[in-house]
């Protein structure tokens, strides 16, 4: 007898993470190339001496610091084991089998997997020709079964970000019982003043009595803690409360909590590091444009090369130059902005590719 697992999961592809190849430069996972700050390493070491104890499951200290920083109540926050886990908690909190989740496509690879694992239906709305979210088409694709919409801004992997009036018009078009989740994993890399802070957008909606907007953020990208897995969701009280209920107890561990708190304390230094990445992003994009590539304007810590059928070949070419990029075969390649020397190695590879 074999164990009966769910038949609908047999075809689930599973998440394929960016590859780490010894000796090669990894620009495949939108990580920050610089290692953790000494103050963060010290906080990790201190927390490590107490790991015989369970962590504070409610992450009380971290939550109260985030609440103060963002100008919300602690009750309007939920932490998670990376924001990807919060994506799953959000779908679990809103959807049963008969319900649907809507999201742009191409976007964050985990959305379709999570929706399938939870057992809800999914509606993918293609991006525009300029690789941006098609909010009009997304609004038109909402059905009576829709419970949640992921709005990824800046969008992974294309980097495009939504302007304030676009987001507000979209929220106005969404029925109030449908949760709009602004996935802002890359918020700290935004330098376009027309791209609003999603938490401010959400708070303005709540003030108008629209309690259907939530925001996802992470410590994995700008804060450089990808290996520790901490994310958070800013949501109306009722949504945040359900998120905390579907939270797997203790899933944000004590070391991760301590590192996140130390990172908030070192925020100025970390944001200065982000500014360097943003400057490198402009340089890399400019050089790629000069080399004849089409590169959408990007607000993330990565660039998107819409190479279509040549993506696999480009990927191989970069690998032969010892640079690991993230290839979405048949569609395009996403390349993380690294340290200047890493970016130079990638640019040399890109320039020598016959495109
Ligand atoms: N949202 C988006 C748009 C992402 O790109 C990622 C990471 N690739 C996540 C969420 C999840 O990040 P984490 O789980 O590391 O917080």
Cis peptide before 81 (omega within 30 of 0): no
What region, left, alpha or beta, does residue 82 occupy, with left being phi > 0 and alpha being psi -120 to 50 degrees? left
65 with 145, same domain: the answer is yes
| Angle, CA of 239, 245 and 249, to the nearest 5° | 135
In a domain, 1, yes or no: no
- With a 6 Å cutoff on the Cβ, whether 231 touches ligand 1 is yes
111 with 133, same domain: the answer is yes
In a domain, 6, yes or no: no
- With a 6 Å cutoff on the Cβ, whether 84 touches ligand 1 is yes
- With a 6 Å cutoff on the Cβ, whether 301 touches ligand 1 is no
| Alpha-carbon distance values, 246 to 27, 63, 342 (Å) | 33, 17, 40
Residue nearest to atom 1 of ligand 1 (CA): 185
73 C-alpha vs ligand 1 centroid, how far in Å? 24
43 with 20, same domain: the answer is no
347 C-alpha vs ligand 1 centroid, how far in Å? 25
Within the chain, which residues score under 50 in pLDDT? none
Cα–Cα distance, 39 to 263 (Å, whole number): 8
- With a 6 Å cutoff on the Cβ, whether 225 touches ligand 1 is no
- With a 6 Å cutoff on the Cβ, whether 303 touches ligand 1 is no
252 with 279, same domain: the answer is no
Regarding an ipTM greater than 0.95, the answer is: yes
pLDDT (0 to 100) of residue 103: 98
What atom in ligand 1 is closest to the CA of residue 83? 16
For the chain, the domain total comes to 2
Domain end point (choices 231, 265, 299):
265
pLDDT (0 to 100) of residue 176: 97
83 C-alpha vs ligand 1 centroid, how far in Å? 6
- Write the burial class of residue 297 (CB in 10 Å: 0-12 exposed, 13-18 middle, 19+ buried): middle
pLDDT (0 to 100) of residue 244: 97
Mutate to test the pocket of ligand 1, among 104, 111, 188, 218 (most ligand atoms within 8 A of CB): 218
pLDDT (0 to 100) of residue 14: 87
Q: Could you read off the pLDDT of 92-141 as tens digits, one per residue?
A: 999 999 999 999 999 999 999 999 999 999 999 999 999 999 999 999 99
pLDDT (0 to 100) of residue 19: 86
Cα–Cα distance, 352 to 281 (Å, whole number): 20
In a domain, 187, yes or no: yes
- Mean pLDDT over all residues of the chain? 97
What atom in ligand 1 is closest to the CA of residue 86? 14
């Amino acid at each position: 007898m074999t164990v009966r697992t769910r038949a609908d999961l047999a075809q689930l592809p599973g998440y394929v993470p960016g590859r780490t190849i010894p000796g090669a430069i990894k620009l495949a996972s939108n990580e920050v190339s610089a290692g953790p700050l000494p103050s963060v390493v010290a906080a990790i070491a201190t927390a490590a001496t107490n790991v015989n104890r369970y962590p504070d499951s409610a992450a009380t200290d971290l939550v109260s610091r985030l609440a103060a920083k963002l100008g919300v109540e602690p009750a309007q926050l939920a932490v998670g084991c990376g924001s990807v886990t919060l994506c799953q908690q959000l779908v679990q909190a809103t959807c049963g089998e008969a319900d649907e989740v809507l999201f742009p496509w191409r976007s964050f690879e985990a959305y379709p997997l999570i929706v399938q694992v939870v057992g809800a239906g999914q509606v993918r709305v293609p991006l525009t020709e300029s690789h941006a979210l098609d909010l009009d088409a997304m609004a038109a694709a909402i059905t009576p079964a829709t419970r949640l919409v992921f709005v990824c801004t800046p969008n992974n992997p294309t980097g495009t970000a939504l302007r304030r009036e676009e987001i507000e018009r979209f929220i106005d078009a969404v029925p109030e019982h449908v949760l709009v989740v602004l996935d802002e994993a890359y918020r700290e890399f935004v330098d376009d003043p027309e791209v609003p802070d999603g938490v401010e957008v959400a708070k303005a909606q709540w003030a108008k009595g629209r309690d259907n907007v939530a925001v996802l953020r992470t410590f994995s990208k700008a804060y450089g803690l990808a290996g520790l897995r901490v994310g958070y969701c800013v949501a109306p009280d009722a949504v945040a409360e359900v998120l905390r209920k579907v939270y797997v107890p203790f899933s944000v561990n004590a070391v991760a909590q301590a590192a996140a708190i130390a990172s908030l304390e070192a925020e100025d230094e970390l944001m200065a590091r982000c500014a360097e990445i943003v400057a490198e992003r402009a340089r890399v994009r400019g050089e790629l444009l000069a080399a004849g590539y089409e590169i959408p304007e990007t607000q993330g810590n990565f660039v998107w090369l819409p190479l279509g059928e040549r993506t696999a070949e480009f990927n191989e070419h970069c690998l032969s130059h010892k640079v690991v990029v993230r290839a979405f075969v048949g569609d395009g390649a996403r390349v993380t902005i690294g340290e200047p020397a890493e970016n130079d190695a990638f640019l040399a590879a890109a320039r020598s590719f016959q495109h």
